[in-house]
């Protein structure tokens, strides 16, 4: 690419970014987040290679023709035209690549197995550590939770029998302080030692209530059977839309974050839990018969927006467990919790572990067909979710970046050729068999991996287009 063309292309990209910032800043923030994560991933490979004594010939952000390039030391740093990824070019990554004889000792191919694994996995490790750091920042800057105050006690429930009353404030469980409703529910696990001792504040008085909830069979987000605590206690949550899920009925209907749902099919909505109950009542279904999407009619959803009532039509989506979803989330709680650095970092680590487990479980469900392939999303979905998170606030935006960082790390370590995990498999096979994998076999391996990734990307893009333009 000639110098004038480079300058023109770079100027065009800057102008496009400025225009995008003016008309759709949230989308630009989502794209910025993806760029940062790519840099973090490649930086992991780069620093590990430098530390292991491997010559890094090029550090590139993007692919295709170079827009900017600068050589510092013995490494060329590039910004390329297509910003969908990046790469680190290591000297003689594979046996057939040329070698500079004077720098043979710095060739990646000549390094021992341990150093190869160190360099290859460094990108994934950086993505995971970056997620831990982001979640720690989120925990330190603060997150909103609901106060642990009882709104209603269901008659004849375990809570009513135990002696809970409306307006009780839960302050501790088994002597451990409770700061939010979420923390209280986390204590109610099937494996806990019951009865638990629940300390409550009741006006000017305090009481300790021995409590054993009932447990009922429920489904988790993947449709697996789980035991769920049925306390008989309810929390008041206003029927205000916190955020939207890309490609779901609420977004297609025109519902916005911040809207308050006033009624569904003419039936008033007083609080958040009413939404699901009224939707279920509004759809006729024969007893024992499965609910099918084609049998679900559009519902009239009235929302309060800027002092006015707006009537919209939304058709709930039928999930695999038979539940109905609009694709909205509850508003943030009224209490802001800020954690000290050491606890923020600890919880950032535990949250990353939990998210990683969920992602691996989701991948397994996709492979076995227990989760619909329609749930796969591509770059349009990522940008849309990123834009929604940016609109929802700093905490949501940080959480979005952390989630994508973990996803990027996990995707790259999968044993698919051309990804980091594919190289881990390749070099491990060579280590175990004490033989080099032949060039033809390796090229077949990589071609198959590339084809697999392309098919996956095409399918994800198809899902995005269907969600975005046809639903």
The predicted model gives 234-238 an average pLDDT of: 87
pLDDT at 137: 95
Q: Given this model, what pLDDT does residue 24 score?
A: 59
Question: pLDDT-derived band of residue 168, with 50, 70 and 90 as boundaries?
Answer: very high
DSSP 316: P
pLDDT for 309: 94
Of 168, 157, 231, nearest to 196 (Cα)? 231
Closest CA to 316 of 250, 242, 256, 377: 250
Residue 169 confidence class, pLDDT cut points 50, 70, 90? very high
| Domains assigned to the chain | 3-142+390-470 (no CATH), 152-234 (2.30.42.10), 243-332 (2.30.42.10)
% of residues, the chain, pLDDT over 90: 41
Residue 285 has pLDDT above 70, yes or no: no
What whole-number percentage of the chain has pLDDT above 70? 90
List, for residues 288-330, the tens digit of each pLDDT value: 567 777 778 899 999 999 999 999 999 998 877 677 889 898 8
Q: Is 80 exposed, middle or buried (0-12, 13-18, 19+ CB in 10 A)?
A: buried
| The pLDDT of residue 15 is above 50 | yes
Overall average pLDDT of the 75-104 stretch: 82
Q: What is the mean pLDDT of the segment spanning 41-70? A: 90
Residue 73, pLDDT > 50, answer: yes
Two structure tokens written together for 448? 């198959």
Q: Which of 180, 215, 178, 177 is nearest to 194 (CA)?
A: 215
Tokens 């979005």 correspond to 400
For residue 6, is pLDDT > 70? Answer: no
Task: Confirm if 231 and 159 have CB atoms less than 8 A apart.
Answer: yes
Mean pLDDT over each residue of the chain, to the nearest integer? 85
Of the candidates 105, 108, 87, 82, which has an alpha carbon nearest to the alpha carbon of residue 44? 87
Q: Is the peptide bond before 129 cis (omega within 30 degrees of 0)?
A: no
| Distance between CA atoms of residues 93 and 159, nearest Å | 64
Give the alpha-carbon dihedral of 341, 344, 345, 351, to 10 degrees.
180
Lowest mean pLDDT among 282-286, 341-345, 442-446: 282-286
Mean pLDDT calculated for residue range 432-444: 83
Query: Are the C-beta atoms of residues 328 and 279 closer than 8 Å to each other?
Result: no
Q: In the structure, what pLDDT confidence band is assigned to residue 66 with cuts at 50, 70 and 90?
A: confident
Q: What is the pLDDT of residue 94?
A: 75
Rg (CA), the chain: 27
What is the mean pLDDT of the segment spanning 138-165?
Answer: 92
Q: Judge residue 134's burial from the number of C-beta atoms within 10 Å of its C-beta, 0-12 exposed, 13-18 middle, 19 or more buried.
A: buried
Q: Which two tokens stand for residue 154?
A: 């269901």
- pLDDT at residue 322, rounded to an integer: 73
Tokens 């009925």 sit at which residue? 249
Lowest mean pLDDT among 117-131, 382-396, 448-462: 382-396
**pLDDT score at 23:** 47
The pLDDT value recorded for residue 403 is: 92
- Report pLDDT for 289: 66
**List of residues 6+ apart from 23 with CB closer than 8 A:** none
Q: pLDDT (tens digit, 9 = 90+) per residue, 389-434? A: 777 778 888 998 999 999 999 989 988 888 899 889 988 988 998 8
């Amino acid at each position: 690419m000639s110098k004038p063309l480079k300058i023109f292309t770079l100027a065009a990209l800057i102008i496009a970014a400025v225009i995008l910032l003016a008309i759709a800043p949230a989308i630009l923030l989502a794209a910025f987040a993806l760029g940062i994560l790519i840099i973090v991933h490649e930086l992991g490979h780069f620093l590990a290679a430098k530390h292991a004594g491997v010559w890094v010939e090029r550090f590139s952000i993007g692919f295709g023709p170079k827009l900017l390039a600068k050589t510092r030391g013995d490494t060329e740093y590039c910004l390329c035209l297509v910003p969908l990824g990046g790469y680190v070019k290591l000297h003689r990554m594979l046996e057939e690549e040329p070698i500079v004889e004077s720098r043979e000792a710095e060739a990646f191919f000549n390094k021992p197995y341990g150093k190869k694994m160190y360099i290859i996995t460094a990108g994934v490790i950086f993505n995971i550590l970056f997620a831990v750091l982001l979640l720690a920042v989120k925990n330190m800057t603060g997150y909103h939770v609901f106060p642990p105050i009882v709104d209603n006690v269901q008659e004849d429930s375990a809570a009513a029998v135990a002696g809970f009353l409306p307006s009780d404030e839960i302050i501790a469980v088994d002597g451990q302080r409770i700061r939010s409703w979420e923390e209280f529910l986390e204590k109610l696990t099937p494996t806990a030692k019951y009865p638990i001792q629940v300390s409550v504040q009741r006006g000017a008085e305090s009481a300790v209530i021995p409590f054993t909830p009932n447990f009922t069979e429920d489904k988790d987000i993947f449709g697996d059977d789980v035991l769920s605590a049925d306390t008989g206690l309810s929390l008041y949550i206003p029927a205000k839309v916190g955020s939207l899920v890309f490609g779901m009925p609420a977004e297609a209907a025109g519902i916005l974050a911040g809207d308050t749902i006033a009624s569904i099919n003419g039936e008033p909505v007083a609080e958040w839990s009413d939404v699901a109950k009224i939707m279920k009542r509004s759809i006729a279904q024969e007893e024992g018969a499965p609910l099918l999407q084609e049998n679900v009619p559009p519902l009239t959803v009235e929302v309060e927006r800027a002092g006015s009532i707006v009537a919209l039509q939304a058709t709930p989506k039928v999930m695999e467990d038979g539940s109905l979803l609009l694709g909205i989330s509850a508003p943030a709680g009224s209490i802001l919790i800020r954690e000290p650095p050491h606890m923020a970092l600890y919880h950032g680590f535990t949250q990353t572990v939990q998210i990683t487990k969920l992602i691996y479980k989701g991948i397994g469900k996709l492979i076995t067909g227990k989760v619909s392939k329609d749930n796969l999303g591509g770059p349009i979905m990522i940008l849309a979710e990123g834009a929604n998170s940016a609109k929802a606030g700093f905490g949501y935006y940080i959480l979005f970046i952390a989630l994508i960082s973990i996803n990027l790390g996990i995707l790259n370590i999968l044993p698919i050729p051309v990804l980091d995990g594919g190289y881990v498999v390749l070099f491990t096979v060579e280590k175990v068999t004490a033989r080099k994998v032949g060039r033809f076999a390796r090229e077949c391996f990589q071609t198959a991996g590339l084809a697999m990734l392309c098919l996956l990307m095409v399918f994800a893009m198809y899902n995005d287009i269907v969600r975005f333009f046809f639903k």
